[in-house]
Structure 1
């Protein structure tokens, strides 16, 4: 690997290679090595790069082309799911169960995947990002039970989605639609979904050329963040039923 792929410098602020130099096969593999410190992760996301590796592998850094995204202005439940939501007793909150959401995402079965990329090292890294107010979760509760959620990284007015889970049918979708609803109110237009799959496509994901995605990140990540620190108070508590009606 080291003969063909750049190794990151040991300094947390060491530069990443230009994303245009990423491999075509596997798509988007850019570099390896480094660490998962807060400064390095902040720098990575700010430049459209994310870590993704399995237990036993070195840290691998990616910037695929094309990039899968959700435009929050267009992210709404279809009629059938909106009707389901209107009859739901679930509630949505933010940043009240971040560690539990990450753990549930790590344990969620993924078709075609053996194991998880959310290793103990990754959990620790995103917990550190959460403690600094950069990583956030949106949680779906049925009473006191956590039944779904999504987590990711927010820089400026950009949200980089990492993973989501459902313990009840439709709960991860409710978390995604709840996140998009609040992002629209905060003038945050874009959710990075990294790499596409049929499930994301069914929810309305779009495929953007990497150049367009990076140009958008350059602008949005430099914008003033609508909320500094935890999102709990600003997000409030949203009845899932409200997601079934136009906002």
Structure 2
């Protein structure tokens, strides 16, 4: 009999996590460039092919934990409520991430998150790959904006500014955490910084691409 889908997926997730944690241990010990995928596989007790079945490139052994965030900004803009702009949707999403101490907001002190961030900052190859994923995120966000009527140039400019601000804010939060502050200590300032940064953007964006309010149903109001 076939295993239930849920069990198979849990086994895959467990293997994926084992490979990633094994790799992170090795990368911390010897450096990202000094460790091969074959060595990760041998240490984890699997074949090199198995590693690549789970991770398309070596860098994903570190960055794979956050790859689901690549499409997130575009999804946030597409799913925003009537009466809101893309800027407001991205800002509100970031404020929620701060309140929930999500890693993407730079306000998580989860030990694994901190280990990953330090590896990325210490490895040019990881930093370049992360930039590649950020570019993918900008492209997806730009497409979502084009769907709503923005020109291609405007969409790329808007996406670049929104995600650059988000990236800078998260980086500042992580820098402060690394210096010894706690998420609870940083949270009020992180919220204030986010509001400040998006207020600056609002001066330039105005009501650009504000989604119309939903029309009232006949007989109501």
* TM-score, shorter chain, exceeding 0.5: no
Greater share of strand: 1
TM-score by length of 1: 0.26
- TM-score, normalised to structure 2, is 0.28
